[in-house]
Amino acid sequence: MTSLFPTSSLNLLKIQTPPSEVASLASLYASSTGMLSEGPSQMYGPPPGQMQITIPTFLAMPIAQMIQLLVQGETLHVVTEDALLTTQQAADLLGVSRQHLVRVLDAGQLPFSRTGTHRRVRAVDVLELKRRRDRTRQALKNLTQLSQEVGGYGEMDRTDE
């Protein structure tokens, strides 16, 4: 099978919406959400009319969600689970600095391998760390909210004054 894209770009793809394209993307999202949820759809790629792709039903909703996130100004990273990421790519996925990620690696919180002198991290491991970190943050947020509701958060015991 002939690939339209260089093999090296298939493991990690970063997608950002150029400001000049937000309006047309929003229009595309508005017109395609119903169509994408109904079943296989046709997509025509650049240059206009030269490339036609049938989008299978199982891909329709993820594509609609991606378009919605791009309209909202989000940057998307599409990555294969088996991809080996550089420390910078992994840090970008986690939203931390590369130096912080290196400390996480050195502390043994995330497995890695070495390619020569360079560290590589499996995308699936980075995503699992992100899920764990997000769950921990949500639990802390819930605990803080509960503490505020019972009046115990931010209040100091002033009985010893």
69-105: pLDDT as tens digits: 888 888 888 888 888 999 999 998 899 999 999 999 9
Whether residues 61 and 91 fall in one domain? no
SS3 116: coil
Residue 95: give its domain's CATH number: 1.10.1660
pTM: 0.62
Whether residues 88 and 66 fall in one domain? no
Query: Distance of CA 127 to CAs 45, 71, 77, 83, 93, Å?
Result: 30, 23, 11, 11, 8
Which of 79, 96, 131 is the C-terminal boundary of a domain?
Answer: 79
The strand pairing partners of 85, in sequence order, are 121
Residue 4 has pLDDT above 70, yes or no: no
Distance from C-alpha of 76 to C-alpha of 33, rounded to nearest angstrom:
19
Instruction: Identify the band that residue 3 occupies on the pLDDT scale cut at 50, 70 and 90.
Output: very low
Residue 21 has pLDDT above 50, yes or no: yes
Instruction: Identify the band that residue 2 occupies on the pLDDT scale cut at 50, 70 and 90.
Output: very low
Which of 46, 79, 112 is the C-terminal boundary of a domain?
Answer: 79
Task: Name the least confident of 1-10, 32-41, 144-153.
Answer: 1-10
Instruction: Provide the token pair at 144.
Output: 């803080």
Whether residues 17 and 74 fall in one domain? yes
Residue 6 lies in a domain: no
Residue 143 lies in a domain: yes
The number of distinct structural domains making up the chain is 2
Task: Name the least confident of 81-85, 127-131, 133-137.
Answer: 81-85
Whether residues 40 and 74 fall in one domain? yes
Instruction: Identify the band that residue 5 occupies on the pLDDT scale cut at 50, 70 and 90.
Output: very low
Whether residues 100 and 141 fall in one domain? yes
Residue 61 lies in a domain: yes
Whether residues 74 and 88 fall in one domain? no
Domain that holds residue 108: 84-149
Instruction: Provide the token pair at 104.
Output: 């996480």
